[in-house]
């Protein structure tokens, strides 16, 4: 097969949780450009207006990954998916000695349980087809600890470490069904999630990043496309850091 054909997603359907903005939308746009039919899922309708300017043909679904019934309804609306991207995520910045337990639970619930629930709904259809791709958007925060002055969000780090463990475990369990499960570990990228954080920590991040800068909009989509396309059909259970070399230090 022609090498570029291995990145072709014509005839495939992709559902992207957290696809209404930020990194999820960037990934969805990349999959759309590669030919996939794309469904975007998020809690708030209001963010879909901008997303639809980028991907006018996208299916938009208001749902909460914390709610299994709303996820079931979302997948029923889209039909069988070939690709699931779990990009829905939240964070909470507060000293680990003081953060309220409800915030800890909420972050873990959205970032881990939400991905778990969406993955198993998607996997039922993928198992029936004997093929599927699940991509979890983890973080460098799931690979190493962060000093408080860079990121004071211990539950977030725990959630992303858990998501990486989930990626590996489901890759082992579902490999025999032809379902590939991989993760991205992005470094720091400008999005709504980081808009207040980055101006404060940019110099610190730069100093700890071999490439000497933050990630830029558009620098994650190609790595996501690789892990969602036939180009990576012999790759499963892996974590690809897109972090300017931060985790190589």
Q: Least distance in Å: CB of 142 to ligand NAP?
A: 9
Site string for ligand NAP, 56-85 (x = CB under 6 A): --------xxx-------------------
Q: Pick the stretch among 3-11, 147-155, 168-176, 192-200 that binds ligand NAP (CB under 6 A).
A: 192-200
Nearer to ligand NAP, 24 or 30 (CB): 24
226 counts as catalytic: no
DSSP secondary structure code for residue 220 in this structure: S
Nearer to ligand NAP, 23 or 83 (CB): 23
Which strands form 239-242's sheet, in the order they lie side by side? 59-62, 37-42, 13-17, 83-86, 132-137, 179-186, 239-242
Nearer to ligand NAP, 93 or 230 (CB): 93
Within positions 153 to 182, which residues make up the interface with ligand NAP, using CB under 6 A?
none
How large is the angle between the packed helices 221-228 and 22-33, nearest 10 degrees?
Answer: 60
Q: Does 200 bind ligand NAP (CB under 6 A)?
A: no
Residue carrying the six token digits 């998916």: 81
Binding residue count for ligand NAP, defined by CB under 6 A: 29
Q: Does 188 bind ligand NAP (CB under 6 A)?
A: yes
In the list 7, 29, 47, 75, the residue contacting ligand NAP (rule: CB under 6 A) is 47
Q: Mapping DSSP to helix (H, G, I), strand (E, B) and coil, where does residue 184 land?
A: strand
Nearer to ligand NAP, 177 or 219 (CB): 219
Q: How far from the centroid of its chain's Cα atoms is residue 114's Cα?
A: 11
d(CA 109, CA 156): 11
Q: Does 137 bind ligand NAP (CB under 6 A)?
A: yes
Helix (H) or strand (E) holding 183: strand 179-186
Pair 65, 115: CB distance under 8 Å? yes
From 29, 131, 156, 226, active-site residue:
156
DSSP secondary structure code for residue 113 in this structure: I
Q: Mapping DSSP to helix (H, G, I), strand (E, B) and coil, where does residue 16 land?
A: strand
Q: Does 87 bind ligand NAP (CB under 6 A)?
A: yes
Query: Alpha helices of the chain — where are they, by DSSP H?
Result: 22-33, 48-54, 68-78, 101-108, 114-129, 154-174, 198-207, 221-228
Nearer to ligand NAP, 69 or 175 (CB): 69
Q: Pick the stretch among 116-124, 187-195, 205-213, 231-239 that binds ligand NAP (CB under 6 A).
A: 187-195
Residues annotated as catalytic (active site), given as ranges: 156
Interface positions with ligand NAP (CB under 6 A) = 17-18, 20-24, 42-44, 47, 64-66, 87-90, 110, 114, 137, 139, 186, 188-189, 191-194
């Amino acid at each position: 097969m022609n090498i570029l054909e291995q990145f072709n997603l014509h005839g495939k359907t992709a559902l992207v949780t957290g696809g209404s903005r930020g990194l999820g939308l960037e990934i969805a746009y990349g999959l759309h450009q590669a030919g996939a039919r794309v469904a975007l899922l998020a809690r708030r309708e209001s963010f879909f207006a901008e997303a639809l300017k980028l991907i006018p043909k996208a299916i938009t679904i208001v749902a909460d990954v914390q709610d299994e019934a709303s996820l079931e309804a979302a997948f029923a609306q889209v039909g069988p998916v070939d690709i699931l991207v779990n990009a829905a995520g939240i964070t909470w910045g507060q000293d680990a000695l003081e953060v309220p337990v409800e915030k800890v639970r909420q972050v873990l619930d959205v970032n881990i349980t939400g991905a778990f629930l969406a993955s198993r709904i998607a996997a039922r259809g993928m198992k029936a087809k004997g093929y599927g791709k699940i991509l979890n958007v983890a973080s460098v925060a799931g690979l190493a600890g962060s000093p408080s002055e860079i990121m004071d969000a211990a539950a977030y780090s725990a959630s992303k470490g858990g998501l990486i463990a989930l990626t590996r475990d489901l890759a082992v369990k579902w490999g025999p069904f032809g379902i590939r499960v991989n993760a991205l570990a992005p470094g720091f990228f400008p999005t709504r999630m980081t808009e207040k954080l980055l101006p404060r920590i940019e110099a610190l991040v730069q100093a700890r990043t071999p490439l000497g800068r933050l990630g830029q909009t558009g620098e994650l989509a190609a790595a996501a496309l690789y892990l969602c396309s036939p180009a990576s059909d012999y790759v499963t259970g892996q974590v690809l850091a897109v972090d300017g070399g931060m985790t190589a230090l």
